[in-house]
Structure formats: structure tokens, C-alpha cells
Amino acid sequence: MNKNSEKISGWKKFMQSMTKAHDLGTEEDILLDHDYDGIKELDNVLPPWWLYGFYITIAISIFYYTQVFYNSEEYSQEKEYAAEVEQGKKDVEAYKAANPELFDDSNIVALTDDASLAKGKELFASKTCTACHLVDLGGSIGPNLTDNKWILGGGVKDIYNTISKGGRPGKGMIAWESTISREERIQLASYIVSMQGVAPATPKAEEGDIVWPE
């Protein structure tokens, strides 16, 4: 036997030990005795190479759980969660600080861009404001919104506040904050501000005695 054939037989031995494959031609020895429509089954053992891989993953999982996951000083799911929540809160605060007008009603400023005013006008009709204040804001059940006499206060902040919280009880102007979004209420208030001084077709007589700016 030369060196080469020794190597081959060593390799073969190794393969045999890793696969425990049954020798060809002797299948009858491990043939199970059932037969499904001509399909028969051999009782092969699980190949050792596959089993070893399985054992290795079990060992790694125990090591991982006890050493890396459970004992780790630096990492734990709880810490990761807490850190992410912490970061999230900071991001929210930073966003609020950078965009105060979105969160704090005392910072509301009247929008003046065409798109916002057009949106306000559209909302004034679609949210049924026109039913009581008329399309040209001249007033009918509700007061004229184009003159500078206010029952509840002029200026974007007071108007926004009236739209949000409603007028005096029983007068018919309900609170809209649960049905109209904050952004849309600002657009509505801005639209009303932009309509100051226009002349409606049939203006309702002035109501209220607040002039803005006071």
C-alpha cells in the first residue's frame, strides 16, 4: 500500500465516521417493513456530522446565555430598552424645543402663506363654519368675522382659542378641538385673520366690544 492509497483510506474512514452511511448493496439490512404504494424506507441513523453541529449550537447557546447575555455588565435587554426610551424622550424634547409653535398654544403665529390660507378657506366651508358665519364671513347666526369688533377676542391666538374651546355656552359656537386637528384650527384662525377688513356683501352688525390689538 503506497502513501497515497493510505491517505485515501484515511479520508474514507473519516467520511464513514462522519456519515455512518450504510454500505451500498446491503440496504435490505436496514429496510423497514412498511411499504406505501411502493415507497419504502431505510432506517438510516442521523449523520454524526449533523449531530455534532447540533451539539455545538446547544453548547454555544448555554455559553451565550450564561456568559454573554446573562452576566454581561455592558449589555442587557433592559438596559438597551431604557437607553432607547431615554433617547426617545430627548428626541421629543429637542423636537418640541425646535418647533415650539407646534406644541405650545401661546406660541401660535398667524400663517400667511397662500397654501395655508387656501386650506383655511377650504376648511371654513367643509367644516360647516359657513352655515353660521357665511361664505364671505359676513355673519348670520354667528357674528361677522371681518370687522374688528370681537365678542371673544381678535388676533390669531384668541380666534384659535374660540375655535378650540367654543363660544359662550348656549350661543351656538361649539368647541371644535375634538373634531378639527390643531393644525387645521391654526389654518382656520389664520384664514379669519387674513380676512380682516374685507367687505362682505351683507355684513352683520358689529357685535362685541373687544378691538384687536387691544
**Residue 10 and residue 143: Cα distance in Å, rounded?**
102
**Residue 59 and residue 201: Cα distance in Å, rounded?**
86
Calculate the alpha carbon distances from 211 to 43, 79, 128 in Å: 97, 57, 26
Q: How far is the CB of 104 from ligand HEC (least distance, A)?
A: 20
| Nearer CB in complex with ligand HEC: 87/126 | 126
Q: How far is the CB of 150 from ligand HEC (least distance, A)?
A: 4
Q: Rounded to the nearest 10 degrees, what angle do helices 182-194 and 114-126 cross at?
A: 100
Query: Which residues are at the interface with ligand HEC (CB under 6 A)?
Result: 124, 127-129, 131-133, 141-143, 145, 150-153, 159, 162-163, 167-168, 171-173, 176, 188, 192, 208
| Nearer CB in complex with ligand HEC: 92/131 | 131
Tell me which DSSP letter residue 105 carries.
Answer: G
Q: How far is the CB of 92 from ligand HEC (least distance, A)?
A: 29
Q: Which residues contact 139 (CB under 8 A, 6 or more apart)?
A: 133, 145, 200, 203, 204, 207
The three-class DSSP label of residue 43 is coil
Element (H, E) at 109: none
| Nearer CB in complex with ligand HEC: 22/157 | 157
| Nearer CB in complex with ligand HEC: 18/195 | 195
Only one residue has cell 424645543, namely: 97
**Residue 161 and residue 182: Cα distance in Å, rounded?**
11
Q: How far is the CB of 167 from ligand HEC (least distance, A)?
A: 3
- β-pairing verdict for 39-42 and 31-36: antiparallel
| Nearer CB in complex with ligand HEC: 8/198 | 198
Q: How far is the CB of 116 from ligand HEC (least distance, A)?
A: 14
Q: How far is the CB of 79 from ligand HEC (least distance, A)?
A: 49
| Nearer CB in complex with ligand HEC: 48/167 | 167
